[in-house]
Amino acid sequence: MLVAVSGIDGSGKGYVTERIVAGIQQKGLNAVAVNVDGWLKLPPRRFQRSNQRAFYRHAIRFDDMFEQLILPLKRQRSIRVEADLAEEDGHRSITTRV
């Protein structure tokens, strides 16, 4: 099952997500939180005035996120991902294990 928690900055998405994951794990099931921040496009693309109505379509690299993280995680139940994360002044690379 894939569950998405969406909301504006500072709305408590991280807190709610932690509670959901903890509740699932307390029932003896595997659960993991995947933060979408690492899959954001750079601010000039994300915040283009013409894109305000379609923020999610233009702001997040969903195709990359699903191809590199979500679908392999579903198939393999474990994954090690090295990805370029968007920052205000460029990209930085990190490795993520889930």
Q: Among 47, 51, 43, 58, which Cα is nearest to 90's?
A: 43
pTM listed for this prediction:
0.60
- List, for residues 59-88, the tens digit of each pLDDT value: 788 888 888 888 888 888 877 776 655 554
**Residue ranges per structural domain of the chain:** 1-33, 37-97
Rounded to whole angstroms, the Cα distance separating 5 from 47 reads 21
- List, for residues 7-19, the tens digit of each pLDDT value: 777 888 889 999 9
- List, for residues 24-44, the tens digit of each pLDDT value: 999 999 888 888 777 777 776
